[in-house]
Structure 1
Amino acid sequence: MTEWLIPEWPAPRNVRALFSTRKGGVSLPPYAGLNLGTHVGDDPVAVAANRQRVRAHVPAEPCWLEQVHGTQVVDADAPLSRIADAATTREANAVCVVMVADCLPVLFCNRAGSVVGAAHAGWRGLHAGVLEATIARMDVAPEDLLVWLGPAIGPKHFEVGPEVRAAFVESSPEDADCFAAGEGDRWMADLFGLAKARLARAGVGAGAVFGGKRCTVSDRESFYSYRRDGRSGRMGAFIWMEGNLPAA
């Protein structure tokens, strides 16, 4: 049976959001479950069947992206290209989605419920500014935003090289707090903490950021994890607005 995570955040009533787990679906091992990724080597027929199961829970075909760990943001209701790592929309029933299997899915809405967005943030995209690019595309005051951080690789499992820490700390020295010393020259990175720091510097209040507590690596039953398994499926974070929209 398909299982969803429903974000716990004070989004406006017309804003709907879902995060798919691996439970349910028809994919066979190593993708066993509800794999939504067409690019991971899974049987295309199985992926299509899984996406059809998702379609029963959302109001329109989601704007599936070809994610490249960059900062490109597209309009989910009329994308000129699908090569992007974030999508936003002001149109009712247009569905933004990003796929993940350790990278951080970030969902956005404004307090008025007139614009939503979704971003895919691995460390490369996070450092390059995908969250800031998404906020800019939404074109609302950052202090009016609500943000949900979905399941991602947790700080106990996200081992990185010194070059990753250096990239963050050189541009923002306070990001050093998001890295703990590992073995040798390795570091354990807190992807949730790094995202919260970027959001804070962009003007989003700490009290407006929710989630950021579920680790994909440590919960094999619920989540896919590329770092844990290598060959792995993908989960999706979906957000849209229902009905007639309020004025921005």
Structure 2
Amino acid sequence: MSVTTTDDALIRVDWPAPSGVQAWVTTRHGGVSAMPFDCLNLATHVGDDPSSVEENRRRLRRLAHLPAEPRWLNQVHGTEVATGDASTCLPDADASYTDAANVVLAILTADCLPVTFCSDDGRELAVAHAGWRGLAAGVLGATVARFSASPESIMAWLGPAIGPQAFEVGEEVRSTFVAANPEDAVGFVAGVRPGKYQADLFALARLSLRRAGVQRVFGGGICTFNEAETYYSYRRDAGRTGRMATLIWRTDAD
């Protein structure tokens, strides 16, 4: 397989973070996995050949010029925020935080919403995995609360996720959000089928971040379901697919 350029395999997070902060999202290009994981699957738990995943992670380290191995998580659709320390364990968590240089935080997604966080001075960073369960439970607010910086001095970016036209949910999902926060009703539009709604993860995330005090939110609107050539989608591919990674770190200050 020919070497894939960084532009094919990686998308830079588009936000006004300090120059020392690096944040990227992988695509499905640039790896060695066979169908249906083709081809830069970075998850070890989806049934892909372990040797292919290992090679894909090696390629990621090279393409993104990572200063260290990413701090992967065992994501459980909860609200736990792990710290990006030197531990070799795989913590049960859906967000990761650090205030140290050259620590690479990472989450995996394939329809759920990845969210990156950065303080204005670039000293504190985080990344969160926000599917509907995590959003409803408050994973974004829990991540913001982990920062020493005030919420007003934190920016966030919403990455690729399943869009509202493709994300049909039942009344139980809508009720979970609205019971806790009535304003979240604006994140749901009645679907064609009775009792079904089109859920907008981007809108729900913006509401959650606003309640947490984060005023500057960038990104949003890229649908993983509709862009099959670029992104994995759990729902589109009936649950058998790969995972993209969203990564963030900062380099040492000069």
TM-score (norm 2): 0.93
Secondary structure of the corresponding residue to residue 193 of structure 1: helix
Q: 1:74 touches 1:81 (CA, 8 Å); kept in 2?
A: no
Q: Which runs of 5+ in 1 are unaligned?
A: none
Give the CA deviation at 1:171.
1.1
1:23-34 maps to which residues of 2 (within 5 A)? 23-34=29-40
- 1:49 is matched with 55
Q: Normalising by structure 1, what TM-score?
A: 0.96
Within the candidate set 91, 94, 101, 1:85 is matched to: 94
1:142 is aligned to 151
Give the equivalent residue in structure 1 for 2:106.
Answer: 97
Aligned residue for 2:146, secondary structure, equals helix
Q: Post-superposition, which runs of at least 4 consecutive aligned residues in structure 1 deviate over 4 A?
A: none
Residue 77 of structure 1 and its aligned partner are, at CA, apart by 2.3
Task: Please state whether the residue corresponding to 2:144 is helix, strand or coil.
Answer: helix
> How much is the aligned-residue C-alpha RMSD, in angstroms?
1.1
Partners in 2 of 1:96 and 1:189 — Cα distance?
A: 28
Given the alignment of the two structures, is residue 61 of structure 1 paired with residue 61 of structure 2, yes or no?
no
- Equivalent AA in structure 2 for residue 27 of structure 1: S
Which of 102, 126, 133 in structure 2 is aligned with 1:124?
A: 133
Q: How many residues align?
A: 243
Corresponding residue to 2:142 among 133, 148, 172: 133
Residue 203 (structure 1) aligns with: 213
1:184 pairs with one of 188, 194, 208: 194
With 32-41 and 81-90 compared, the bigger mean Cα shift is at 81-90
Give a deviation string over 1:109-150, Cα, whole Å, max 9, x none.
000111100000000011111111111112220000010100
Q: Does 1:106 align with 2:115?
A: yes
Q: Take 2:96 and 2:40, find their aligned partners in 1: how far apart are those partners? A: 22
CA contact (8 A) 1:146 1:209 kept: yes
| TM-fit CA distance, 1:81 | 5.1
What is the rounded CA distance, in whole Å, between the counterparts of 1:86 and 1:52 in structure 2? 23
CA distance in 1, matches of 2:58, 2:135: 30
Kindly provide the amino acid, as one letter, of the partner of residue 15 in structure 2: W
Residue segments in structure 2 that go unaligned for 5+ positions in a row: none
Counterpart residue type for residue 77 of structure 1: D
